[in-house]
Amino acid sequence: MAYKSIMTVLTGTETLEATLASATELARRNDAHLEVLSLGIDRTQAGYYYAGAAIVLQQEMLDRAEEDARNLDAKVQARLGREDIRWSSEAAIAQLGGLNGLVAVRARFNDLVVLPKPFGEGRGQEDEAVVEAALFEGGTPVLVVPDNGLGDNFAHRVVVAWNQSDESLRAVRAALPLLKRAEKVDIAVVEPARHGPERSDPGGPLSQMLARHGVRAEVSVLAKTLPKISDVLLRHVRDQDADMLVMGAYGHSRFREAILGGATRAMLEQASVPVLMAH
C-alpha cells in the first residue's frame, strides 16, 4: 500500500511554502499525484439580507475572494512548475458555511490530505473547517504539518497514540506506508483500562499486527502524571525524540456537523511534529 493520490488545501499565503513543500516531498517519495485546491474565502453571511448599498459590499467581498483564489493558484503553479512530480491545481471560492461540502467531495477521492496547523497566529476559522471537512465528512486521513514543515527526519521515529478505539486503529492503518519505513515505532498507551480487552497485554495485539507488516514496534505504558492525556503524549513524543505522531481524531457536538474534540484540538495546538490523524 502506498499513497498514490495526495491533496492539499490552501487558504492563505502564510502557510503556502511549508505546506506545499511537505505535500510535494510526500508525492515524490510515493510517486503520487498531488492535487492542490486554492480557496478564496467569501466572508459574507450566507442567507443574510443586505439592504441598499450593502449589496455593493457583498459583491466586493465576492470579488476579493475570487482574486485571492486566483493569486494563490498562480503561486502554486509557479512553485510546482519547478518540481518533478505529477500535479494539478484548482482555484475556487466558498463561504465559511459552504467549505465542508467543497473540501469533502474532493478529499474523499484522495489517499491522504496534507494541511497546515489550523490553530495559531494568522490562522482563521476556515483552517479548522478544512481539517474537519477532510476528516469527518471526507473520511480521509489528514497529515497536519507544523510551520517548519516535515523536518529533516520525518517519520523515522514515530509515536502511535493507542487507546483501542476505532479511530486510532484507522489512523494506524492509514499510516502504514510511513510506519513500514520508520526506524522505530513506539505504541504509547496512557492509563490502559483495567477491564478492557487488552488489560493483560496493552498494545500487544496492535504490535503483533504491525510486526506482520514488517514494522518493528515497542509498547510504552504511561501513567497519567499530567492533568491531560494530551500533555502526557506530547511529553512522550519529546522524550522519544519522535518526528511524527499518529492518533485518532475525535469529534464532539451534535449541533454542528463536526467539531474537533478537546484532546484532538490540544494535540494540534501544541504538537511541534507532524500529526497523522483519521476518524
CATH number of the structural domain spanning residue 83? 3.40.50.620
Domain edge (last residue) among 85, 119, 145: 145
Distance from chain centroid for Cα 100 = 15
- 180 shares its domain with 78: no
Mean pLDDT taken over the chain: 90
Residue 78 has pLDDT above 50, yes or no: yes
Query: What does the block give as the cell for 28?
Result: 515524490
- 60 shares its domain with 22: yes
The parent domain of residue 37 ranges over 5-145
Mean per-residue pLDDT, 83-100: 93
* H-type alpha helices, 160-276: 166-179, 204-212, 229-239, 262-270
- 257 shares its domain with 166: yes
Number of domains in the chain: 2
Mean per-residue pLDDT, 111-123: 91
For position 193, what pLDDT does the model report? 76
Please indicate, yes or no, if residue 35 is contained in any of the structural domains: yes
For position 52, what pLDDT does the model report? 54
First to last CA, the chain: 19
For residue 48, the one-letter residue type is: Y
Domain edge (last residue) among 96, 112, 145: 145
DSSP state of 45: P
- 167 shares its domain with 235: yes
pTM over 0.85? The answer is yes
For residue 140, the one-letter residue type is: T
- 140 shares its domain with 10: yes
What is the tens place of the pLDDT at every residue in 190-217? 998 777 777 778 999 999 999 999 999 9
Percent of the chain beyond pLDDT 90? 73
- 16 shares its domain with 82: yes
- 123 shares its domain with 235: no
CB neighbour burial string for 28-52, b if at least 16 within 10 angstroms, e if fewer? ebbebbbbbbbbbbbebeeeeeeee
Bridge-partner residues for 185, per DSSP?
Answer: 158, 217
Residue 257 has pLDDT above 50, yes or no: no
- 237 shares its domain with 116: no
Please indicate, yes or no, if residue 97 is contained in any of the structural domains: yes
Query: What does the block give as the cell for 62?
Result: 465576492
Percent of the chain beyond pLDDT 70? 91
Please indicate, yes or no, if residue 47 is contained in any of the structural domains: yes
**Phi-psi map region of 105: left, alpha, beta (phi>0 left; psi -120 to 50 alpha):** alpha
Please indicate, yes or no, if residue 152 is contained in any of the structural domains: no
Domain edge (last residue) among 92, 112, 145: 145
- 22 shares its domain with 136: yes
- 9 shares its domain with 118: yes
Query: How many other CB atoms are found less than 10 A from the CB of residue 54?
Result: 12
Query: What does the block give as the cell for 65?
Result: 475572494
- 20 shares its domain with 116: yes
Q: Are 248 and 163 in contact (CB under 8 A)?
A: yes
Residue 47 has pLDDT above 60, yes or no: no
Give, in order, the Cα–Cα distances in Å from 32 to each of 3, 23, 28, 59, 91: 6, 10, 7, 39, 21
Residue 232 has pLDDT above 50, yes or no: yes
Residue 108 has pLDDT above 80, yes or no: yes
Please indicate, yes or no, if residue 88 is contained in any of the structural domains: yes
Q: For residues 84 and 235, what is the distance between their CA atoms, to the nearest angstrom?
A: 38
For position 122, what pLDDT does the model report? 78
- 22 shares its domain with 141: yes
Please indicate, yes or no, if residue 233 is contained in any of the structural domains: yes
